[in-house]
Amino acid sequence: MSGMRERAGDKGEYRIASRPMREVPDRLRPREQFDLLGAEHVPDATLLALILRTGLQGMNVADLSEHILQKYGTLTSLARCSVAELVAIEGVGPVKAQMLKAALELGRRLSMEAIPEEMKIVSPDDVLLVLRERVRLAEEEKFWALLLDSKNRLTRPPLMISQGTLNASLAHPREVFREAIRAACASIVIAHNHPSGDPTPSAEDIRVTRQLVEAGRIVEIQVLDHIVIGHRRADGRLDFISLRETGLVKFSE
């Protein structure tokens, strides 16, 4: 950002008093950057500025975009905002909020299109490919079952069993295995997210998993794994944990 810092009303906050866009060098303007570098190589703020199109008095659209991204930290945090929350951002009215929400949703749907319809589930990474975009913006726990045939292929899209804090009532074997039995599945993989971002399984996660593994033995539908999904981390650490790989639960072979 460029410009002089000035008081923003009586809130005690500071913001950038930026130059009008016509005074910004061509190479730094969002449209010119986009044309010069291409969509894949411009920063997030440039793409956001192209969606917003205009800034507000005292702040051009490029600086407004930088301000919004600094406020929320990540695109994921921004995508979690409702339209009403976006409208509340100074410089983002109802029309811009709708356009921004639509653009973020299109990005999510584009990622979902990359998942094969009859995908084979052979590792935790495969489970993450199927579910990561479904749970990335969730603000509460969601519990899923992946129904697999004898060749470990998905027989249908992932089935959301429940949402809310994971416990025995939300992940009751009756709910988990009803559709699996109806679909004549050979096995299932269960998964849920931790909105906190930390995928470390709780004692309840482990207890519920053991209950479901035992129920699977009774109905002869093998539970292959339970994946706990957190958030992607800047330090490169895994954003998920496989209870099978940790050895915390004994799964059938």
What is the Cα–Cα distance from 218 to 174, expressed in whole angstroms? Answer: 12
Q: Are residues 107 and 46 both part of a single domain?
A: yes
Q: What is the mean pLDDT of residues 107-130?
A: 82
Percent of the residues in the chain that have a pLDDT greater than 70, as a whole number: 86
State which of 90, 112, 134 marks the end of a domain.
112
Q: pTM for this one? A: 0.66
Neighbouring C-beta atoms of residue 108, cutoff 10 Å = 13
Q: Is the pLDDT confidence value at 32 over 50?
A: yes
229 and 153 belong to one structural domain:
yes
Nearest residue to 239 via CA among 121, 107, 129, 122: 129
Q: Which of 112, 145, 167 is the last residue in one of the domains?
A: 112
Residue 20 vs residue 234, higher pLDDT: 20
What tokens were used for 154?
Answer: 């998905």
Helix (H, G, I), strand (E, B) or coil at 102: helix
| Same domain membership, residue 181 and residue 80 | no
241: CATH? 3.40.140.10
Name the most confidently modeled range: 50-59, 79-88, 166-175, 212-221.
Answer: 212-221
Q: Which domain holds residue 191?
A: 116-246
**Same structural domain, 54 and 147:** no
- 220-239: average pLDDT: 84
222-229 and 187-193 as β-strands: parallel, antiparallel, unpaired? parallel
pLDDT of residue 198 exceeding 60 = yes
Q: Structurally, how many domains does the chain consist of? A: 2
Distance set, CA 239 to CA 64, 109, 163, 233, 235 (Å): 31, 21, 20, 7, 10
pLDDT of 21 over the 80 cut? no
pLDDT confidence bin for 220, thresholds 50/70/90: very high
pLDDT score for 116: 67
CA distance 116 to 253: 26
Residue 8 lies in a domain: yes
76 and 133 fall within a common domain: no
77 and 27 in a common domain: yes
* Domain shared by 89 and 32, yes or no: yes
Domain boundary among 112, 139, 167: 112
Q: Are 235 and 147 within one domain? A: yes
Same domain, 103 and 130: no
Does residue 252 sit within a domain? no
For residues 155-184, average pLDDT:
82
Whether residue 163 sits in one domain with residue 207 = yes
3-state secondary structure of 211: helix
154 and 200 inside one domain:
yes
Same domain, 148 and 175: yes
